[in-house]
Chain A
Amino acid sequence: AQKVTQAQTEISVVEKEDVTLDCVYETRDTTYYLFWYKQPPSGELVFLIRRNSFDEQNEISGRYSWNFQKSTSSFNFTITASQVVDSAVYFCALSEEGDSNYQLIWGAGTKLIIKP
């Protein structure tokens, strides 16, 4: 069965520190997609990244970077030089290629608090 685990319920760091949010997934499919979303205090969902299972290249976008490791079924997210505006709940999600490929399976989220 598919599952997404975000073991860190809450992380608190001081501004300018680097922080890594962990995401571990379970799936039997060889083709699948992984996502990260940000949910700021205002509540909307902000799409950050989508990665398919055949692309294991790490990705960097400004201060954000993602480390996809199929060997450990992990898709971790790092924020470099964190800022107060990064404070939010971050969700990792998975979808599989199959009959229910439209369903996103979500982790419970990690609440990130950046202190000034």
Chain B
Amino acid sequence: NAGVMQNPRHLVRRRGQEARLRCSPMKGHSHVYWYRQLPEEGLKFMVYLQKENIIDESGMPKERFSAEFPKEGPSILRIQQVVRGDSAAYFCASSPRAGQGNQPQHFGDGTRLSIL
């Protein structure tokens, strides 16, 4: 499967724990985007990364959330000291270049994070 791979598909954490969400982009894609979908809502942009660089993190909460896309390996979205309000579906998308012109974003199946 050459698509965007996210794991785990479901993640359960207790309040105060850390959550790590992984995203492997499509082969040949060096641009990764994370979106959050709260229950009954559309997706909201969180962060855009290229290899080893955060390009735009304007949609990501300033505290407890961080993202990285290392030279080797998947992109990681990390949420520290999770709270109930972090319960959501987190989607990762990738593209070979930035923008939507000829490069639509390809989405993974998402990680459903549940906070007990």
Q: Mark A1-14, 1 if CB is under 8 A from B, else 0.
A: 00010100000000
Residue of A nearest to B59 (CB): A103
Q: Mark B13-51, 1 if CB is under 8 A from A, else 0.
A: 000000000000000000101010000111111001000
B105 on interface, CB distance cutoff 8 Å: yes
Q: Mark B86-104, 1 if CB is under 8 A from A, else 0.
A: 0001010001001111001
* Chain A contact patch, size range: 20 to 34
* Chain B contact patch, size range: 20 to 34
Complexed CA–CA distance, A98 and B43 (Å): 20
Interface residue ranges of B31-90 to A (CB < 8 Å): 31, 33, 35, 40-45, 48, 55-56, 59, 89
A66 on interface, CB distance cutoff 8 Å: no
Contacts A102-B31, A102-B33 given; does A97 touch B99 at CB 8 Å = yes
Complexed CA–CA distance, A38 and B95 (Å): 19
